[in-house]
Structure 1
Amino acid sequence: MLRLTWIELFLRSIPELFVIVWGIHVLSRERLNIVNYVFSSLILGILTFFVRWLPIYFGVHMIINIVLIVSIMIIAGVPTIKAVCSTLIMFFILSLSEFINMLILNLLKIDTKFQFLNPVKKCVLCSPSLIITVMFIIAVYYLYNKEYLKRYNNLGTNERI
């Protein structure tokens, strides 16, 4: 069982789901409705909090969370295939950024036995992975927009809409 505290819910889980939902919208190239974005991120944060309290094996909670996120994204209007692919890519990116964060913490000789840390210190030590994820999403967003502008500028003057 991977219990979260209320502090971890507000300092890590909800901000992480705001980033994941935003990343899914960027990767799927779907428009972001702010009301749906905030509502779905908060709902997913609370659902993730309670899924972590379930008496299940490690890793099963991740599968349940992926299914919940895909379901909420489909309800929010993201097409099914895009929702599934973007969610899996976002989980891979988040895992990769957490690996990079652990690598950096180990290089700096910072103790990474998180189960013994207090929740605030745990959230502070894990926040660089969220920052790495945000930087990746911003990079993808600008690459997508650069590609769009390049295609738009290559159209003839009478072909523009």
Structure 2
Amino acid sequence: MGNEALQISLPLVLLTILTFSAPSATASASDRRYNVGDHVPLFVNKVGPLNNPSETYQYYDLPFCYPDPVIQKKESIGEVLNGDRLANTLYQLNFRQDKNGERLCQKKLKVAEVAKFRDAIVNDFYFQMYYDDLPVWGFVGKVEDESWTISDKGTKYYLFKHVVFDFFTMGTK
């Protein structure tokens, strides 16, 4: 009986020693520090209908402007299971540097591309991006069933062509 107790307690003692002697691996918001002008990564993630969050597509499945080449970010198992599909963008955002009205690209949409955007707008698609692991959401566009003027009749579909980023830093102790 003494040997059985030793066999059971030895792995428990080893596990306890390893648990308390291994360096802890914790993450927090304070782990990343940027200096003024440092590049802060912005990744596009996914698009999908707001009313069905499990139905998602890659961001560039819609005909947005994209970098050449599109580089997929290596993801953790949790990100993969969550349906994340992170990829690089054309946006160049630097820490604590203001930008005003920068054009990423100019693109004439083909009929099929207009139809893709129209379907996304009708289905109330949102997009998701990550700015230094901070999730950012927005809508692809909006539908207006009635016009604001008397002379215009019918449904109007608006594609949001401009994205405005306002990020603020919080003071530290």
- Which of the pair is proportionally richer in strand? 2
Instruction: Tell me the TM-score normalised to structure 2 length.
Output: 0.24
Instruction: Tell me the TM-score normalised to structure 1 length.
Output: 0.25
Structure with the larger RCO, 1 or 2 (CA within 8 Å, 6+ apart): 1
- Which of the pair is proportionally richer in helix? 1
